[in-house]
Chain A
Amino acid sequence: MELKKTPLNQIHKDLGARLVPFAGWEMPVQYTGVIDEHTTVRTKAGLFDVSHMGEIFVAGEKALDAVQMLTTNDASKMADGQVQYTLLCYPDGGVVDDVTLYKFNEQRFLFCVNASNAQKDFDWIKANAGGIANVKDASEAYAQFAIQGPFSQNVLQKVCSIDLSSINYYHFKVGLIDKTGAIISRTGYTGEDGFEIYISPEYAVNIWNKILDHGGSYGIKPIGLGARDTLRLEMGYPLYGNELSKDTTPIEAGLEKFVALQKNDFIGKKVLESQVKTGIKKKLIGFEMIEPGIARSHNKINNHGRQIGEVTSGTMSPSIGMPIGMGYVETQFAAMGTEIGIEIRNRVAKARIVKKRFYSSKPVCKK
């Protein structure tokens, strides 16, 4: 199957990026190097092409009802112009996808979904909400960039019509970027302050270049998926396909604060409710290595020689300078400080369970 290309494909090549297949797209994994790009986002500003992400609108008089039935979090609490992290679940509690939900008004919502799940999500939303709301796949209509890092606002303000300081964390506004309409949200997947912008693909190259030009004095650089992964992992953010899947529930993944059991029925509620009441068999944990070695996904996790789970993500943390990871273990072994063994290439390296939030950055702007 031919890989899909974002409007920036040629620009990435010109910038010297290494392009790899990802979720059916040809995407830049790195430009200058993962560690340099990671540090740039933590200390300055980075620009990510995330045009592979999917956008699905749910609209109509019963749009809120549709969203409430599809998602685990409580969308009735959202103000217009607010963004919410939420999950779509199957009836058995397994995760269809984790998404960000944008509320324009009671009758118009936007789901930003993972590229790897875009078609599946659209089919799922259409099948379950198509009867009461208009469901439209708008993925082709948007290019998406993320501008992340402490100087994000300074850089983006130079090309943006609205006062960015007026956009609070997990809120959005519609405004002009370089004279073209854009959705601008104060969101991201790095743990740094920053924005995600949705623009028309035909203006994408122009806006990308302008942001890099204007951000030059702030040290902005283009950032690939490699650093996107290390940045999110340091924050303990789950990645669908690693920490989340149809075989894991939001409760097992430690995402109970995004599951609103007090709201009316939603798909998966029964199972999630019972898991909260009676407990879970496996739990997502974070760990740091005690002995040398880097854990990788699918490495087995042991306790005194018995397998108790499996690694879902692992890397050398560029910010902390030590190997970190996440994985599922049997709940009885999930306590903070528990020593576990990670099977790495025919040997077992000791690790210790720690908080999933490995890296603590400066707090984001919450005005």
Chain B
Amino acid sequence: MDFPKELRYSKEHEWARAESNIVTVGITDYAQDSLGDVVYVELPAEGSTVTKDETFGVVESVKAVSDLYSPVTGKVIEVNDALIDSPEVINDDPYGDAWMIKVEVANLAEIKELLTADEYKQFVEEEK
């Protein structure tokens, strides 16, 4: 199980990567592994607004449906539409090609409220 150091994590199993005021969001390696084969994803439209701890989309495996929760608040400036046709990328490369949305955030401090890699790893271990 992979927990890249440079990312921040939510307890809903999303990761966030901040570059100045742009935050890229996806789901974690643990999340994709728990879901199993991802076969469907719904993402918000470009220009829409996402809110911290509220749902911004859905990811489905063969068996299960799982909501996606935004780790930050802001405006969606880019959506990874390639995932719609190739949702399996979420299993193959959760921290890379399977990024989901890029969010322009107003309050960068939100990032600091998220878990570090070590904290998230510990959280996952306790959840198992």
Binding site for B on A (CB under 8 A): 18, 29-30, 33-36, 226, 229-230, 292-294, 296, 315-316, 318, 323, 345
The interface residues of chain B lying within 8 Å CB-to-CB of A18 are: 36
Q: Is the CB of B63 within 8 A of A226?
A: yes
Give the distance in Å from the alpha carbon of A335 to the alpha carbon of B58 in the complex. 32
Q: Is the CB of B62 within 8 A of A230?
A: yes
Q: Is the CB of A30 within 8 A of B40?
A: no
Give the distance in Å from the alpha carbon of A323 to the alpha carbon of B58 in the complex. 16
Interface residues on B, range: 10 to 19
The interface residues of chain A lying within 8 Å CB-to-CB of B39 are: 35, 294, 316
Q: Which 4 A-B pairs have the closest CB atoms?
A: A316-B39, A34-B62, A35-B37, A33-B37
- Shortest distance from the beta carbon of A291 to any chain B beta carbon, whole Å: 12
By beta carbon, the residue of chain A nearest B63 is A226
Q: Is the CB of B36 within 8 A of A316?
A: no
- Shortest distance from the beta carbon of A239 to any chain B beta carbon, whole Å: 13
Q: Interface on chain A toward B: helix, strand, loop, or mixed SS? A: mixed
Q: How many A-B residue pairs have CB under 8 A?
A: 37
The interface residues of chain A lying within 8 Å CB-to-CB of B58 are: 345
Binding site for A on B (CB under 8 A): 36-37, 39-40, 42, 58, 60-63, 65, 84
Q: Is the CB of A315 within 8 A of B40?
A: no
* B65: contacting residue among A35, A296, A318, CB under 8 A: A296
Find the residue from B36, B40, B63, B65 having the highest chain A CB count within 10 A. B63
Q: Is the CB of A30 within 8 A of B36?
A: yes
The interface residues of chain A lying within 8 Å CB-to-CB of B42 are: 292
* B62: contacting residue among A292, A293, A316, A345, CB under 8 A: A316
Q: Is the CB of B62 within 8 A of A315?
A: yes
The interface residues of chain B lying within 8 Å CB-to-CB of A226 are: 36, 62-63
Q: Is the CB of A294 within 8 A of B60?
A: yes
Q: Is the CB of B37 within 8 A of A34?
A: yes
By beta carbon, the residue of chain A nearest B41 is A292
